[in-house]
Structure 1
């Protein structure tokens, strides 16, 4: 039979069952749309970040940095004399503040350049319109990018910048504003390097030296033939886009998997719709077989319908996904939760690149393949259909029941896979855990018939008068005979409900753990820090006279300090965050076990290591370096500085970072480093002083430039943290709601279709003496039984999936452990909604299908 014949036969079938097919089509459309929209937002944000980083870093062949921290200008002079160099560009970077058009301060990045050398390396850092070359060399002229100009409310002629100078002091300086530069990203100011050194209080210092070799020079050959001045290291320019991609890979993969949840749920709806369609069309399909259509052609007819659904749904999904991404860029933010805004800005646009068009094709193919896979089993059942028996009303059970061991076997395999560690190539992508969740879902679906039969056994415990009634007997017999059909109708809602339960438990557990963590990490009443930032975005040191003034004011009962900085480990190439603070060990959010005695606020070192500092590492650093409590490590204040032996005293939960960090006692840090500066203060207010009253009084202790300090009550910080948490999971909630909506539509459609398909059965029951109320009661019992089994199965399976998410996926992906907590009110509300949706849909369809005209349906068999 030709393809044209298959098309002519499949399109009428699609039109005849347009209502159910429309739901299947909608499920594929939404699944493809959500997956493609999330991919578009993530890839566009990463591309924009890469472009912004490239425009700031330029295109040097080599970057020189100091092993002991900043470089000296004498190093620059020595490097400039080396042969084979066409450009030698010194660079100094930092952070400053300006007053925006709204009267509030905002931070902007400051880059100091030798414009004659750096111009060819970073053309986007140079103004396109320039009246004279002298303005480029003027240390009192600053050049702003579009983001900074927008914060100032448009073109400005003068600008005052204020920056920290590393000693707790700050310096303000006025600049003339030159022509704009084209660099994208966050607010940026470019100026001559001498002006940047004066503003940042770093006279004679450089952060790096960018080199471009002469034409024909090879980097490795040049390095082999030239000796760099002592204290310098050479490396290719960092790929910031690749670094951010690696840093956010786990977040993007998890979000991508979650976005496919709707498509995965929709595949079961397509399967249920096509299975029901095939079951209702058995006589017609059998008649086609008698008229000459082969078994292979009948299967191809069903697959053609699935192909049509997949093509239409994927095409519509790609268009809808682009529209959703465009809206999501403005409403949800470009980064969907991970921090690309530092370089990417907003409003980056969604121009489709070749890679994104290729991704669109991949998502379209996925949608088509899922639709075809959902139709495979119904097509196979049609192929093996005994046409002669079906025409006589026999052999209607086309799809064989799965073996009884399949469900438990899949559940066991999923449980085993959950304990498989991630692959070394992708340490933060738990592929085995995703496979485990997939097997658990399939196992749960395969167990539905057994659960249904087990539930029927419970009916025998009812009083004899009830258990022996005709209605319950009919329910029992139909449930035994149609257990496979019930499994198909429940598949979509079971997947959606279990995934929704799992996400609800995971998010609730995370929120409860975060709340407890905030209580432990923010024990004081009030917090103070500098509003100024240093080069790497770290907080500047507090004015040295503020803490003594606070202690003498009588506003505080207790004041403790913290020094936030960076530290280098011999085992790790990049700097990691360091927090030196005063704390009690038993109040930290520690992951047991501890090592060494608890001797008070200052922990004694291990025996035999009297000079080793006890440090506490976060879970990310533990997993990254495979460190365990009791192991030793070496700290350095600068990359090539003096070594300080330390040992891991314990591991603490750190929900503020997705990178390595360590903590130690402030007194230990001060003895080691000699650095007595503080970057934050923890304030316990005196009894009777409310936070609302304390803020202005604490600010008044800094009469000169009070805006250099930021004050926050503990309640404000916790509310802000939870608000960030809710925004981060906003996309998760929407994706979860869409998948659950598809599942609810699926159970409503399948239940309604099954009721409408049983009109002859209802007519026969009416002829046998049952009233319409009896038939409605029968259907109510069946619907309640089916919906109840689905809700309970979804709850149990969802709790199993939540265990994988909480105890496997999150620790492997984000290196965050948490305590599981069950939000029973929300869970019960979710189960109740699913139960009522199934029951209501069945009863609404039953009311339409059991009217007086139903008795006429029996004549169709005469």
Structure 2
């Protein structure tokens, strides 16, 4: 350690900027990766907290596979000896007239009816089922018994005047399309939920909601010693029981693809940062080469020299990792305060400190610390091997670094072939494209292995140009030092390839989304009820209102639509079903069924998620249950359509077919085309005169703009991570070129002694830098395009079930490639100018 301190500390003291650059590279990589991990965990922690507040702490949640439960189900459940307590729950969605949310629309509020006696019994047994829903009033749980008394959470009370004692809400009762106003007395406070929420006594809720005798679910607590999973399997088929944690797992499944892709992209910054550490250590090795040779002559073994360089990399990695972990926590906390903890949840209620500390930190911190140290050690490995391989006597004579070892070109070609083969493998772990990411890694390493061959090929192309001394020197160096070109360009090549790949993927996605919105939003204006059913689905529009909309002079044409749900198997989760007057040829179809139609089957079109997850391929005939009517229908898949609005299964059916098989004539949405000369403002004003706040409208242009804004917001962090990785790579090539120029100081002195002027040597450096920088830029562009193909055609379809067409943003790609080329050439020229500042005679004297 004393020897390492004597050899390393002077270099660190004289060149603190380069050492700081290496530490910052590790720090940024660890901070970004750890911060993204904490943000992902905070989002899931907040959702789980909200789910526990609403669902309470039962062992199981009991529902009916189809339709509601009844009071008779509750009585039968309570007679089972395994049941310790059961809390019936009924829910509804209402709107708050006169109050608007952040989107400017009428404020929705969720209403929950609970049995206070069941909650009190569970609390007395020491196992509270819904402590967060207990109102803070003098009567405690019994305070729920007041007639038409509603207890509100903080999100709802923010819209309530301080002295208000009553509030009026509007909802639609089952079987009706006309809204009804209900007046409630304001009670105590509840702590659950980040969206507006109200809690009532279940008897009042059933009467107000028009659902006497009906229950949405029953929260069940079992006797001690009863296994929940075993007991759930013993239930009759008309009941379905599942742990309440399934809600949190559902969000985890929904967002896993986004979180995994974001986390891996953050790790790319650490990956490119390791090349910067390599460049800095290479520079330090070049500067201290005479010292390493001297200590070698004095008896320090090659193995000891190798270990000393690794220790230097370990120290850099340890400092950078420690700072990166602290910075990662700070970045996550700042992002929580600025953007919120949600991945589309909007409006987290917990503080950033609570959300960060509410998840395990020790093991993730240790994992990312190991990654940071491993990246630094791997970066130090090549300089360590170089120092180990030097011949001390030759180095003291000024013969410089030993020749680098070059991998055969077939190794690079083999890695490229392996990467192409891995891209064809299916995803694992619930749709995670592990093989695709391994494919990208093989493509990157294969491209790096082929850089020497590319440099030699470009050097050979120079032979066709008119011969000259400078051209001959540049060509010979490109042949002899091709391996050094690979090392110096490794960081910028990886960063450029990733930047090109992400630029092409994001550009292709945005262009495909823009075209899809044109197809999915053919009308000028869209209208739907502001009211919601108990399941959160839009309430049907009153038939009288539909007729009035069609007769408005501002409206030329209308098209009704029905949003419903169905189950693909008994007891399965509900999936979306859209019924509308659709010409199948106008859908954004990816595949269609050209065979015969199945007898008695209704034609449906499914999205890519249905094809991938539920195997609903064109031509398949299957049965499904319409949830609203309970009817089982026979369906046949007629085609696959592109759906960027969701990652879950969704189906489309012609509206006349839906009404025939369901017996449901209702309409939930209307597509409206403006009459010639009419304006959107005039049409909206006319609609508001008809329906007031009970109907929501959105123009196609607004929906398009909002969708693209959400897209840009979703990929903002991606672009930022991409910029950080590219900046780290550019710093790496600057440091690498500086290392090579300093290592050639004596060579430049000899050339000047032989008669070459400084201007001629600068032209030589320009030729060499253009050769290597051009090779790096071309290789980075080619690799980036290859990676983009994997991202567009493999990663996105496997992760999100979204396919797209490849679109090349030529201007942005040219800017990226030009920036990388300019950085390589500029760094080489600046470093060479510094190396040429030494006097030629002095440089030759050092060489003698």
TM-score interval w.r.t. the shorter chain? over 0.9
Does 2:27 align with 1:38? no
Deviations 1:149-203 (A, max 9, x none): 2344767433222223243222222222222112143221111113322443323
Separation in 2, partners of 1:448, 1:221: 60
Over 3 Å counting, the alpha-carbon distance change for 1:361 and 1:27 in structure 2 is: same
Does 2:397 align with 1:392? yes
Aligned to 2:109: 108
* Alpha carbons 1:48, 1:348 under 8 Å: kept: no
Separation in 2, partners of 1:187, 1:196: 17
Aligned to 1:275: 282
1:611, CA displacement in angstroms? Answer: 1.4
Which residue among 126, 130, 155 is the counterpart of 1:122? 130
Separation in 2, partners of 1:75, 1:165: 22
Separation in 2, partners of 1:390, 1:850: 20
Over 3 Å counting, the alpha-carbon distance change for 1:412 and 1:68 in structure 2 is: closer
* Alpha carbons 1:334, 1:346 under 8 Å: kept: no
Aligned to 2:182: 173
Does 2:826 align with 1:840? yes
The more displaced of 851-860 and 113-122 is 851-860
Does 2:442 align with 1:442? no
Which residue among 431, 450, 453 is the counterpart of 1:428? 431
* Alpha carbons 1:378, 1:399 under 8 Å: kept: no
Aligned to 1:515: 514
Separation in 2, partners of 1:665, 1:384: 74
1:92, CA displacement in angstroms? Answer: 0.6
Aligned to 2:125: none
Separation in 1, partners of 2:359, 2:592: 51
Q: Could you tell me which runs of 5 or more consecutive residues in structure 2 were left unpaired when the two chains were aligned.
A: 121-127
Separation in 2, partners of 1:478, 1:50: 61
User: What SS class does the counterpart of residue 129 from structure 2 fall into?
Assistant: coil
Does 2:622 align with 1:642? no
Does 2:669 align with 1:661? no
Over 3 Å counting, the alpha-carbon distance change for 1:774 and 1:218 in structure 2 is: closer
* Alpha carbons 1:275, 1:378 under 8 Å: kept: yes
1:141, CA displacement in angstroms? Answer: 1.4
Aligned to 1:709: 695
The more displaced of 833-842 and 94-103 is 94-103
Aligned to 2:706: 720
Superposition CA RMSD, Å: 2.5
Aligned to 1:601: none
Over 3 Å counting, the alpha-carbon distance change for 1:4 and 1:110 in structure 2 is: farther
Aligned to 1:381: 386
User: What SS class does the counterpart of residue 712 from structure 1 fall into?
Assistant: strand
Separation in 1, partners of 2:233, 2:523: 56
- TM-score normalised by structure 2 residue count: 0.94
- TM-score normalised by structure 1 residue count: 0.92
Separation in 2, partners of 1:45, 1:139: 37
Aligned to 2:581: 582
Deviations 1:625-664 (A, max 9, x none): 2221111111111399332111111111111111111111
Does 2:70 align with 1:72? yes
Separation in 2, partners of 1:101, 1:340: 18
Aligned to 2:266: 259
Separation in 1, partners of 2:330, 2:39: 11
Over 3 Å counting, the alpha-carbon distance change for 1:847 and 1:293 in structure 2 is: closer
Separation in 1, partners of 2:18, 2:415: 30
Separation in 1, partners of 2:284, 2:459: 27
Aligned to 2:716: 730
The more displaced of 53-62 and 304-313 is 53-62
* Alpha carbons 1:616, 1:662 under 8 Å: kept: yes
- Please give the residue correspondences for 1:618-697 in structure 2 after superposition, counting only pairs within 5 Å: 618-638=607-627, 641-697=630-686
1:459, CA displacement in angstroms? Answer: 1.8
User: What SS class does the counterpart of residue 539 from structure 1 fall into?
Assistant: coil
* Alpha carbons 1:751, 1:838 under 8 Å: kept: yes
Aligned to 2:409: 404
The more displaced of 734-743 and 540-549 is 540-549
Separation in 2, partners of 1:10, 1:574: 63
* Alpha carbons 1:163, 1:199 under 8 Å: kept: no
Over 3 Å counting, the alpha-carbon distance change for 1:665 and 1:36 in structure 2 is: same
Over 3 Å counting, the alpha-carbon distance change for 1:806 and 1:158 in structure 2 is: same
Aligned to 2:294: 287
Which residue among 307, 317, 327 is the counterpart of 1:310? 317
Aligned to 2:306: 299
1:220, CA displacement in angstroms? Answer: 6.9
1:546, CA displacement in angstroms? Answer: 1.6
* Alpha carbons 2:403, 2:481 under 8 Å: kept: no
- Please give the residue correspondences for 1:341-356 in structure 2 after superposition, counting only pairs within 5 Å: 341=346, 349-352=354-357, 355-356=360-361
Deviations 1:652-685 (A, max 9, x none): 1111111111111111100000111111111111
The more displaced of 308-317 and 541-550 is 541-550
Separation in 1, partners of 2:840, 2:593: 74
The more displaced of 373-382 and 791-800 is 373-382
Which residue among 745, 753, 773 is the counterpart of 2:739? 753
Over 3 Å counting, the alpha-carbon distance change for 1:233 and 1:273 in structure 2 is: closer
Aligned to 1:196: 205
1:358, CA displacement in angstroms? Answer: 1.6
Over 3 Å counting, the alpha-carbon distance change for 1:132 and 1:472 in structure 2 is: closer
User: What SS class does the counterpart of residue 112 from structure 1 fall into?
Assistant: strand
Aligned to 2:770: 784
1:479, CA displacement in angstroms? Answer: 1.6
Which residue among 130, 141, 156 is the counterpart of 1:148? 156
* Alpha carbons 2:114, 2:200 under 8 Å: kept: yes
Does 2:339 align with 1:359? no
Aligned to 2:27: 29
* Alpha carbons 2:116, 2:142 under 8 Å: kept: no
1:45, CA displacement in angstroms? Answer: 1.4
Deviations 1:450-490 (A, max 9, x none): 1111111222333x2xxx12221121122222211111110
Q: Could you tell me which runs of 5 or more consecutive residues in structure 1 were left unpaired when the two chains were aligned.
A: 597-605
- Please give the residue correspondences for 1:223-234 in structure 2 after superposition, counting only pairs within 5 Å: 231-234=238-241
Deviations 1:599-646 (A, max 9, x none): xxxxxxx44x33101111111111112221111111111399332111
Does 2:181 align with 1:182? no
